[in-house]
Structure 1
Amino acid sequence: MSDFLALAYPWTKSLHIIAVISWMAGIFYLPRLFVYHAEQGQDPQVDRLFQTMEYKLLRAIMNPAMIGTWIFGLALVFTPGIVDWSFLWPWTKAASVLAMTWFHHWLGKRRKDFEAGKNDLSGRRYRMMNEVPTLLMLIIVISVVVKF
């Protein structure tokens, strides 16, 4: 199995990067949709439009991208010679990816709140929460590139 992972490494890394880019695009955009939804979604037609956009973004793009990120990321972890767990960087990256996954699920819960008509967060709160993935992205990229 490790021979296969070593041979597939360039493809695995490429697919991991593609999945991460797709996931991050959605993770940045969905909270922005929530900002507009919270501030302008009182009209039933506008509310329905936002709900449709949020649902499709989460289900068709973000969920598959997150799953791909995890699958290809774990394949990279198990590829011999790629990750040296004696350094700090794999641990900071892993913790940040877990936090990003938590944030993804938090966004999913907020979408369900909108769908049920129970959103209690303001546009300002969603704007602040939109900074979470940026901070996590910085930690992840610096961890992987600098390898401290």
Structure 2
Amino acid sequence: MSDPDSEISKRSGRIAARRAAIAIVVLLVFTGFIFWLDPTDLYLWIKAVHVIAIIAWMAGMLYLPRLFVYHADAEKGSVQSETFKVMERRLLRVIMNPAMTIAWALGLWLAWTGGYFASPWFHAKLLAVIILSAVHGMFSKAVRQFAEDRNDKPPRYWRMINEVPTLLMIVIVILVIVKPFG
């Protein structure tokens, strides 16, 4: 006989994953539609979708290491640990990976269209985004390690790492808004 709580959790997880997938498909279709129409006339719409993708990506980048803090405290194999594994995997695959991909694709298009590749502030911003993407990769590896019960880092480590995306976000926003290097 199966555990009713487990079945409810699986069903609600499937519903949440389906809703997230629908939202991503709608965003991708909308983005494709924008490009099909004529991207040069829809620059601000593309910029809006880019910012939406960045917000989703950053939400995940700020939340995932917080999950790691709690997961590192959970007993391996416990119900709590297994719940964190599901949460981390879904956050990464359903929100963070697609959001990062959309942010990169549209961001590069916006930079090309806006002629920013020659700007020093853009080079600094691009470097910060590359570092943020590397942190994303590190978080992806950590999700795999937690899933395999191979995390060897204490909660304190994840608390400190939790600040890295925040610092990078601050740098990136200042570079985009202020453009300190001309």
Q: TM-score by structure 1 length?
A: 0.92
State how many pairs are aligned: 144
Residue 87 (structure 1) aligned with residue 82 (structure 2): no
Equivalent in the alignment of 2:97? 63
Secondary structure of the structure 1 residue equivalent to 2:119 = coil
Shift of the 56–77 alpha-carbon distance from structure 1 to 2, 3 Å rule, reads same
Q: 1:54 aligns with which of 82, 88, 92?
A: 88
1:1-148 alignment, distance < 5 Å:
4-42=38-76, 44-79=78-113, 82-148=114-180
Q: Is the 8 A contact 1:92 1:139 kept in 2?
A: no
Q: Relative to total residues, which structure has the larger helix share, 1 or 2?
A: 2
1:52 is aligned with what amino acid?
V
Q: Is the 8 A contact 1:27 1:104 kept in 2?
A: yes
Q: Does 1 or 2 have the higher relative contact order (CA < 8 Å, sep 6+)?
A: 1
Gap regions ≥5 residues in structure 1 = none
- Inter-partner Cα distance in structure 1 for 2:129 and 2:77: 37
- Inter-partner Cα distance in structure 2 for 1:84 and 1:14: 18
2:162 is aligned with what amino acid?
N
- Inter-partner Cα distance in structure 2 for 1:86 and 1:75: 14
2:129 is aligned with what amino acid?
V
Q: TM-score by structure 2 length?
A: 0.75
- Inter-partner Cα distance in structure 1 for 2:58 and 2:78: 29
Shift in Å at residue 43 of structure 1? 5.2
Gap regions ≥5 residues in structure 2 = 1-34
Shift in Å at residue 86 of structure 1? 4.1
